[in-house]
Amino acid sequence: MKRIVITTGGTGGHIYPALVTAEGLRADGWEVLFVGRFGPARDRLVSAGFEVEEIPARGFVSKGFVERLRASGDLLSGIGAARGLLKRLHVRGVLGFGGYASVATILAARSLGIKTMLHEQNVKPGLANRILGRIVRSVAITFRESARYFPSGKTVWSGYPLRPLSRASSREEACRAFSLEPALRTLLVFGGSQGAQAINEALMNMVSAFSLGEGWQVLHATGRGKSEGVSAYYKACGIPACVVEHISDMAAAYAVADVVVARSGAGTVTELGVLGIPAVLVPYPFAGGHQRENARVLEQLHTAEIIEEKDLKGGILRDKIFSVLRKVSSRTEAQKALQKEIRLDAVTRLVDEVSRVFGF
C-alpha cells in the first residue's frame, strides 16, 4: 500500500507546502496521513480530507532551563507517541516539513526502520531540519543555496510546492473583486499569515508624510483586528485603498499588483519569483535569519529590495518602492531571470522523489 506520513508544525510556513504536496501525493495514488502539532491548522487539514494525529512537541530555541526541560520531556513523549502511531499505520515512509513535532516523528521512524526524507523551505534551514538532515535518506530543497547546509550528495533541488497561480483572473476582474480601479497602479501589502504591525505602521507613515503620488491605490492585508484603523487612515489621507485582515485569493491579489511590500517567507519569495512581481521585502527579524536569506535570492536578481524592520520608516520604504520599480522594467524580463532560480514544477519533483526514496 502506498501510505505515507507527513510530519510538520502548525505555522503557515510549514503547513502550506506540506498540504500542497499532500494533495499532489494523493493524486498520484498515495494515502497521506498527517502527524505533528498543528494547533488551529488542524481544521484546515481535516477539511482537505486528511487524517490527522497530534503528538506532544515544543521548541527548544531561546528558552530558559525549565522550558528546555519541558521541551525535552515533550520530545521523548512525542517519540513514544509517534512510534505507536507508525506501528499501527504501517506506512511506507515519513516526509518531514520542519517544525519541532517533525523531530519526534522522524526519530521514531528511524528507530522502526521506516524510510525518511525532508523538505526544506528556506535558504537557511531551521534547527529541526539541520539536525534531521544528517539522518534522513533525502532532503528536497527549495533554493539551490541550501545544499551547503546538508551532507554532500543527499539533496535534490525540488523547489517550493505551490498551487497553480496561472488560473488567476484578469487584472480587470481582480480589481473588481477588491473594488479597485484598473487604471491605477496598485501597491499590494501583506505581512504573512499573521500580518505585520511594523509594516502596517510604516505604510501609514509613508502615505501621510511621503505620498506615493497620484495614480496609485493600495491593497493591504493587515492581519487580524487591524484593518479598521488602517482603513480609516488611508481614507483620511485620501488614498484609494482596499483594506482587509486577510486575502484568501492571493492569485487575484497578485493579478492587481504592480509592486509588493511583504515579509520574505519561502512561499512568498517563490510566488513573487514565479510571477516576476517587483517587491520590497521586510524579513521577519525573529526567524533566525531565514527570511533575510530568502529575500537575498530576489535581491541578487534585482527584482527585490530589502529593508530590515529596524530601518522600516516611511521615507525609506517609499524610496525602495520606486528603486525596485526602476530596476524591473517588465514582469516578463523578471520571470526570465528568475526561471534559473525558481522551480515551477516542485510538486511533481517532490512526488517523484518520494516514490524513488520510499520504493515506488
Tell me the pLDDT band of 236, cut-offs 50, 70 and 90. confident
Query: HEC string of the chain?
Result: CCEEEEEEECCHHHHHHHHHHHHHHHHCCCEEEEEEECCCHHHHHHHCCCEEEECCCCCCCCCCHHHHHHHHHHHHHHHHHHHHHHHHHCCCEEEECCCHHHHHHHHHHHHCCCEEEEEECCCCCCHHHHHHCCCCCEEEECCHHHHHHCCCCCEEECCCCCCCCCCCCCHHHHHHHCCCCCCCEEEEECCCCCCCHHHHHHHHHHHHHCCCCCCEEEEEECCCCCHHHHHHHHHHHCCCEEEECCCCCHHHHHHHCCEEEECCCHHHHHHHHHHCCCEEECCCCCCCCHHHHHHHHHHHCCCEEECCHHHCCHHHHHHHHHHHHHHCCCHHHHHHHHCCCCCCCHHHHHHHHHHHHHCC
Interval 343-348 mean pLDDT: 92
- Indicate whether 234 pLDDT > 80: yes
Share the mean pLDDT of the chain: 88
CATH top-level class for 3-160+343-358?
alpha beta
Residues in a beta bridge with 34: 6, 52
Q: What pLDDT, on the 0 to 100 scale, is given for residue 198? A: 86
For residues 329 and 360, give the distance between their C-alpha atoms in angstroms, rounded to a whole number.
46
The predicted-structure confidence for 118-157, as pLDDT tens digits, reads as follows: 999 999 998 788 889 999 999 999 999 999 999 988 999 9
Q: pLDDT band at residue 59, thresholds of 50, 70 and 90?
A: low
Q: What average pLDDT score do residues 48-56 get?
A: 93
pTM for the structure as a whole: 0.88
Q: For position 345, what pLDDT does the model report?
A: 92
Q: Is 171-338 a domain of CATH 1.10.10.60?
A: no
pLDDT of residue 224: 85
Report residue 78's pLDDT band, with 50, 70 and 90 as the boundaries.
confident
| Predicted pLDDT at 113 | 96
Q: Identify the residue with better confidence: 268 or 340.
A: 268
Residue percentage of the chain with pLDDT more than 90: 59
The residue-averaged pLDDT of 233-253 equals 91
Q: Do domains 3-160+343-358 and 171-338 have the same CATH topology?
A: yes
52 vs 37, which has greater pLDDT? 52
The CA-based angle 233-268-158, given to 5 degrees, is 175
Structure confidence at residue 209 (pLDDT): 58
pLDDT at 71: 61
For position 331, what pLDDT does the model report? 63
Cβ-defined contacts of 318-327 (< 8 Å, 24+): 318/206, 318/210, 318/212, 320/280, 321/187, 321/212, 321/259, 321/261, 321/280, 324/259, 324/278, 324/279, 324/280, 325/258, 325/259, 325/278, 327/278, 327/302, 327/303
CA terminus-to-terminus distance, the chain: 10
CA–CA separation, 319 vs 212, rounded Å? 10
Convert the pLDDT of each residue in 271-319 to its tens digit: 998 888 999 999 988 767 889 999 999 998 889 999 998 888 878 888 9
- Write out pLDDT tens, residues 91-124: 999 999 988 889 999 999 999 999 999 999 999 9
Domain boundaries, given as residue ranges, for the chain: 3-160+343-358, 171-338
**Is a pLDDT exceeding 60 seen at residue 66?**
no
Whether 46 has a pLDDT exceeding 90, the answer reads: yes
Contact 187, 259 (CB under 8 A): yes
- pLDDT exceeds 70 at position 173: yes
User: Of residues 78 and 291, which shows the higher confidence score?
Assistant: 291
What pLDDT is attached to residue 92? Answer: 93
Residue 99 class from Cβ within 10 Å (0-12 exposed, 13-18 middle, 19+ buried)? buried
Give residue-wise pLDDT tens across range 183-209: 999 999 998 655 578 888 888 888 765
Compute the average pLDDT of residues 159-168: 77
- Residue appearing with cell numbers 505585520: 196
Q: Burial code of 62-81, b = ≥16 C-beta within 10 A, e = fewer?
A: eeeeeeeeebeebbeebbeb
